[in-house]
Homo-oligomer: A and B are copies of this chain.
Amino acid sequence: MTPGPSYEGWLPGVESLCYGGDYNAEQWPREVWAQDVRLMTEAGVNLVSVGIFSWVRLEPRPGEYDFAWLDELLDGLHAGGIRVDLATPTVVPPAWFFRDHPEARVVTRDGVPLGPGSRGAAAPSSPQYRAAAARITTELARRYGDHPAVVLWHVHNEYGAPVGWDYSEHALVAFRRWLADRYGGLDALNAAWGTTFWGQVYGGWDEVALPGPTPTAGNPAQLLDFARFSDEMLRELYRAERDIIRQHSDRPVTTNFMAGTHLGTDLWRWGQEVDVVANDNYLMAADVDNHVGLALSADLTRSVAGGKPWILMEHSSSGVNWQPRNVAKKPGEEKRNAFSHVGRGADAVLFFQWRASRFGAEKFHSAMVPHAGTDSRVWRELVELGGDLAGLAALRGTRTVADVAILWDYESFWAQDLDWRPSVDLRHREQVEAYYRRLWHDGVTVDLAHPEQDLSAYRLVLAPSQYLLTAAGAANLTAYVASGGTLLVGPFSGIVDEHDAVHPGGFMAPLKDVLGVWVEELLPLREGETLTVTHGDATLEGRVWADHLRVTTARTVGTYATGPAPGLPAITRNEHGAGTGWYVSTVLDGEALRTVLADVYADAGVVPAAPGAPETIVRRGADADYVVAVNHADHDVDLELPGGPTVVRAGDVAVFEVER
């Protein structure tokens, strides 16, 4: 293989894929530190994250700093050739902070302040917290801004987890300020929130409250704005620390996202703020096919990064500790996981954490050095993985190829999650995942996309669940089809605008032209009820949802045979301009979805992989493609390459360089 291209915005001086993990050295005595550097070298580790939870060790009393231990640690790592991703420790303020500022704690919706002894307890809008965080960040950035070991800054940790919503008095003050900025005046707020409903009109800013506990459902527009506000408070925290660092350091700055699991932070906005995108990914143990969820997380991360390489900042060598049943990884499973991440754009593979903690809440979380030590399967596999990654330097900076997109929109998710929707069974995440899973099995690599972004590069765009769709978003989708694109829309899409108000003209009105249908009435099903759709010679089973559809210019492709709308259209296809708009008005599973998508693929010119093919992703370099193949089956599988067929062994991975 030839080396990959150099590229802007990556970690300075790092010429290979990165490998390593969180290194919470303060939990261990000095004699372990020296042993750690030796073991890191043995495993091929070249990057560790340091200091994430170290605030109290760096500032043991207000304004008193102790950097000696960190100096020693960084120097030791540097001497051992290990580069450092240095964290600001602001995710856990010291106990003295909460003693001095009990009002700076996060408060639950029911008014319960959340205490220390855990993590994430500081109220994002607290001026006291912001000031304290700025002070420690300034001290750190000043001292280590030019440290030769430091190649990256890791601001805070997993913003928004475990809690992102705060109902403290500080939050109330900040919410009113944020609303005043957003709306300018109360008339605009009253209009946006529809306060004539249930007589909620506000006459003064001091009347506006947080969306706390109410006797019954609250104002949905207020709740949606509170979600936006809460996310924005976190970004204010991030930006403040980032800007301080930039005054003292030229190293890139990031923070670790949780693309696969956390929907509270709008990563489309966060992606604009970081120098390089980083993500934490953990398998959901209850799902036996959780490598599909991993792929979705990785594809979303890459999409948030605008296609550029990204850092897998945390994942696990084996089981985690916070799920109900923390299943360990099987032999070979971690290797497959790591290669799937790399195939989908990761240029760094890091773990939480280097060495398993003996104490604390996460001691049952796996690590690179497990409790059993180095005489263990986990350690032996990670040493091997380190060697494998070292051999893949050519992939660095190459771009993953995807020409299909699935819409992913946090604001729509937030709005759909509010109370009193037509059916609790229509869950946005489930709808998106059902389509994603089908495409994964069809070997189609996808980007996730925002409905208002440029979609022209995609052959096919799917909107399985787009409840909230702005007029601008609808216009964008319509223009995309008019220009030749293929669009598929799932049920309960295009319902409300950015204020959770039903679009004038009724449900799905903004998509009427592009889809050639409109929705007269929503027809959710009872729990467990099914219906059937006649589709050519086939009978498809649907669940959860139907519409009373009214066709204007579309052609009916599938017709309800049973259920709440017998004889009415269920699946429609509309030619609009140079492209095609499909509407699928019910929830289809497995084979039914394959049947429908076959026609949609044909419209879009998408060619699915042969059934049973390995997971295959292409990273495109300047002169060559790198085909990353991951075989999740327990038998060898054939793979077609431009140069002819090859074999990927049972449970194994392979990377093939294909000249272009």
Contact = CB atoms under 8 A, between A and B. Distances in A.
Given A325-B423, A371-B506, A502-B359, A117 B214 contact: yes
Interface of A: 24, 26-27, 53-57, 60-61, 89, 92, 94-96, 98-99, 106, 108, 110-121, 161-163, 193-194, 196-204, 206-222, 285-286, 288, 318-319, 321-322, 324-328, 330, 356-364, 370-373, 375-378, 419-425, 499-502, 504, 506-507, 518-527, 548, 564
A328 B564 contact: yes
A62 to B, nearest CB: 10
Contacts of A371: 502, 506-507
Given A199-B54, A363-B502, A420-B361, A521 B204 contact: no
Contacts of A193: 359
B95 A207 contact: yes
A99 B176 CA distance: 14
Contact of A521 (B98, B108, B110, B328): B328
Q: Counting chain B CB atoms within 10 Å of each CB, which of A419, A499, A523 scores highest?
A: A523
B61 A200 contact: no
Given A26-B196, A54-B199, 7 more contacts: A27-B197, A95-B209, A112-B213, A113-B213, A114-B214, A117-B209, A324-B425
Given A94-B199, A502-B358, A519-B372, A209 B377 contact: no
Closest 6 CB pairs of A and B: A194-B359, A197-B360, A118-B214, A95-B207, A162-B216, A217-B361
Given A111-B112, A501-B359, A218 B117 contact: yes
B524 A326 contact: yes
Nearest to A371: B506
A527 B564 contact: no
Contacts of A217: 118, 322, 361
A216 B120 contact: yes
Nearest to A221: B359
B423 A326 contact: yes
A198 B157 CA distance: 11
A319 B423 CA distance: 11
A61 B519 contact: no
Nearest to A109: B112
Nearest to A366: B521
Contacts of A361: 197-198, 216-220, 419-420
Nearest to A359: B194
B325 A525 contact: yes
A506 B378 CA distance: 14
A285 to B, nearest CB: 7
Contacts of A219: 117-118, 360-361
A651 to B, nearest CB: 14
Contact of A222 (B117, B211, B364, B424): B117
B422 A362 contact: no
A377 B94 contact: no
Contacts of A372: 506-507, 518-521
Given A197-B357, A328-B521, A506-B371, A121 B364 contact: no
Tell which of A26, A214, A373 has the most Cβ of chain B within 10 Å. A214
Contacts of A197: 24, 27, 53, 357, 359-362
A358 B60 contact: no
Nearest to A192: B359
Contacts of A286: 526-527
A53 B198 contact: yes
Contacts of A221: 359
A27 B197 CA distance: 6
A553 B115 CA distance: 48
28 contacts: A96-B204, A111-B112, A112-B213, A115-B209, A117-B219, A118-B216, A119-B215, A193-B359, A194-B358, A198-B361, A216-B322, A286-B526, A286-B527, A288-B526, A321-B422, A322-B420, A325-B424, A325-B526, A327-B523, A328-B523, A359-B502, A363-B502, A364-B421, A372-B518, A377-B520, A377-B521, A377-B548, A378-B521
Contacts of A525: 325, 327
Contacts of A115: 209-214
A154 B21 CA distance: 59
A196 B362 CA distance: 12
Contacts of A216: 118-120, 161-163, 322, 361
Contacts of A121: 214-215
A98 to B, nearest CB: 8
